[in-house]
Amino acid sequence: MTAQQRPVMGHAAYANKPLVSLRTSLGAFIFRQRSISMLPATASITLHSALLGLLARRPLTGYEILKRFTRSVVFFWNAKRSQIYAELKRMERLGFVTSRVSVQQGRPNKRLYAITPAGKAALRLWLDRPTPAGPIKDEMLLRTFFSHVLPPPRAVAYLERHGEEHRRVLEEFEGIKAALLARYGSPETTEDRALFFGSLVLEQGIRFERMYAEWCRWAAAETARWRGRPGRASEAPSAADFIMTS
């Protein structure tokens, strides 16, 4: 998920969050063993495993699953609302989850989803499998790679603007971390396993956003100092040709 796609909030947004909201800001992580061949493609397997992870703590309604997904998992694995509900139906057909209608007085009935023993086994199997390195798709880096066609000041402005977006996301993540620390103490001492591993992922997000913001600052400064000629790229062989052809 890119910095542009992420919702941005500051420290104050988390100051008065209910405990459950803070807990689900991290989420739980993110086969039935006899039917691996029945499972959908890799991307769908990952979504289906993420949903099993959310249900591993307790039964949830579809709305609650969607809410927890958008407050936690979406920061590192994106999916549309329609995909989530379609995957829940598929998982029920495979026997990884069950659902039942909960009757409510004075309010619409709700459907409650629960993970099955087969679903727990599938989740553990997925967690035990090695994770292949995925391809990198970063439009910002792609634009930077071809910024030789821009006047340097425009490239500098783009790098500075993108760096600011990463700094805003960094502030949001640091706000979540500060609120969790104030409510629960250090994750190193917590007995809540979901909170502990969620904190590890949060820390990765903080370090990534800090690194990216710092790289943008550095790249903008380097571009501003650069004395190359703006305009079209030279037709003479260059280091860029070596990078693209070697």
- Predicted confidence (pLDDT) per residue in 87-97, tens digit: 999 999 999 99
φ, ψ of residue 50 in degrees (nearest 5): -65, -40
Residue 36, domain CATH: 1.10.10.10
Query: For residue 163, is it within any domain?
Result: yes
What's the mean pLDDT in 49-70? 93
Res 117: pLDDT: 96
**Residue 183 shares a structural domain with residue 123:** no
Res 240: pLDDT: 57
**Residue 161 shares a structural domain with residue 194:** yes
Is the Cβ–Cβ distance between 53 and 123 less than 8 Å? yes
- Type of residue numbered 3: A
**Residue 57 shares a structural domain with residue 37:** yes
**Residue 110 shares a structural domain with residue 144:** no
Residues in the chain: 246
What's the mean pLDDT in 47-71? 93
**Residue 219 shares a structural domain with residue 155:** yes
pLDDT digits (tens, 9 = 90+) for 140-182: 999 999 998 988 899 999 999 999 999 999 999 999 999 988 8
Res 11: pLDDT: 44
pLDDT digits (tens, 9 = 90+) for 132-148: 777 778 899 999 999 98
Query: For residue 25, is it within any domain?
Result: no
| pLDDT > 70 fraction of the chain, expressed in percent and rounded | 74
Is the Cβ–Cβ distance between 79 and 56 less than 8 Å? no
Q: How far is CA 60 from CA 27, 31, 100, 112, 197, in A?
A: 13, 20, 11, 5, 21
- On average, the pLDDT of the chain sits at 79
CB atoms within 10 A of CB 29: 20
* Cα 232 from Cα 115, distance rounded (Å): 58
Give the sheet arrangement for strand 110-115, strand by strand: 60-61, 110-115, 97-102
More confident: 87 or 23 = 87
Residue that terminates a domain, selected from 102, 128, 154: 128
Is the Cβ–Cβ distance between 1 and 74 less than 8 Å? yes
- Beta strands in the chain, from DSSP E residues, in sequence order: 60-61, 97-102, 110-115
Look at the chain and report how many structural domains it folds into.
2
Q: How far is CA 112 from CA 15, 46, 235, in A?
A: 30, 22, 63
Query: For residue 134, is it within any domain?
Result: no
- Give residue 176's domain range: 139-231
Residue 29's pLDDT band (boundaries 50, 70, 90)? very low
Res 246: pLDDT: 53
